[in-house]
Amino acid sequence: GTGILSSQPEENPHWWNANMVFIPYCSSDVWSGASSKSEKNEYAFMGALIIQEVIKELVGKGLSTAKVLLLAGSSAGGTGVLLNVDRVAEQLEEMGYQGIQVRGLADSGWFLDNKQYRRTDCIDTITCAPTEAIRRGIRYWNGVVPERCKLQFKEGEEWNCFFGYKIYPTLRCPVFVVQWLFDEAQLTVDNVHLTGQPVQEGQWLYIQNLGRELRNTLKDVTASFAPACLSHEIITRNHWTDIQVKGTSLPRALHCWDRSLHESNKNGKAPLKGCPIHLIDSCPWPHCNPSCPTIRDQFTGQEMNVIQFLMHMGFDVQKMAQQQGLEPSKLLGMLSSGS
């Protein structure tokens, strides 16, 4: 595989020689379902059960002697990590393997149940507001959410547990959250479409506000990596080593996290010096971080630099420079250098 699934040390400096198992996403239920096919249901949604079966099978293949099990996933798989990490830990404990430390790595699965930019009726999965989509989904899937999260909400309100900032405080296992501040999947469900026409001012403000809201939900997340880029998914991309937040790459931050968990198990020490694990960009708009992945115009496939991208987004350099009290040329220089 690529990124964190690669067995090449250059591409995967920390876990290239780990035992890896890839579970394809075939259950369409954010890894939460427990409903089998029956006369009433023509579809089966069994994501939660698939994970439990895989764990059972792996115990006989060497997992029983593991020190650490890292449950990682991207997009729906990232949300799936949040929903399943504690249950996997409980399953292993019940099977008598208390010695295995279970951890989670959730990539691009930390969604917000915010107000859409334009409200649309729920005709299909794309037009459905995030909360409504999950609400309906849980009924189809017979969705399972962790007990500790479920207890925080009234009966029928279990959909709340699909949103990272609501489930995270209830989790027992350590989880590392990786999230683009301007996630393309989030913008899609919020009805902000960045294709073709320049972005209107209302959309531009909405996008900046989304970044702010997301940043806020991550402030109490101990281990996080949140670059100010417009993208979706990162851990399985081969460029995952190139993205940096405040001079630290994601593999380096994960290595620091690993070490901090190892150290705290030994002697509860303070965080390691020079080895940060809480990394969130503070600049306010998409791609203000110079290490962001290249953007391609969705129509022409051409690569764009930051300035071309901002122009394409209808970003008014004159106006922005005025607001910041800068010469336009100076602002453009700062944008292209990413400062």
User: pLDDT tens across 220-252, in order?
Assistant: 999 999 999 999 999 999 999 999 999 999 999
247 and 320 share one domain: no
266 and 142 share one domain: yes
Chain segment 170-199, per-residue pLDDT in tens: 999 999 999 999 999 999 889 887 765 667
Chain segment 129-155, per-residue pLDDT in tens: 888 889 999 999 999 999 999 999 999
pTM equals: 0.91
Residue 72 lies in a domain: yes
Strands 295-296 and 303-304: antiparallel
Computed on alpha carbons and rounded to an integer, the radius of gyration of the chain in Å comes to 21
Residue 287 gets the label, from left (phi > 0), alpha (psi -120 to 50) or beta, of left
- Domain count for the chain: 2
110 and 213 share one domain: yes
325 and 217 share one domain: no
The predicted pLDDT at position 271 comes to 64
Residue 214 lies in a domain: yes
254 and 329 share one domain: no
Residue 102 lies in a domain: yes
The predicted pLDDT at position 4 comes to 98
When the pLDDT of each residue in the chain is averaged and rounded to a whole number, the result is 90
Residue 296 lies in a domain: no
Query: How far is the C-alpha of 288 from the C-alpha of 244, rounded, in Å?
Result: 12
200 and 312 share one domain: no
Chain segment 261-278, per-residue pLDDT in tens: 988 766 555 667 889 999
329 and 200 share one domain: no
Domain assignment of residue 106, given as a range? 3-290
Residue numbers annotated as active site = 75, 183, 232
Residue 260 lies in a domain: yes
Which residues does 19 contact at the CB level (< 8 Å), separation at least 6?
A: 62, 66
Contact 112, 186 (CB under 8 A): yes
176 and 286 share one domain: yes
Query: How far is the C-alpha of 204 from the C-alpha of 211, rounded, in Å?
Result: 11
In a 3-state reduction of DSSP, which class is residue 103? Answer: strand
229 and 319 share one domain: no
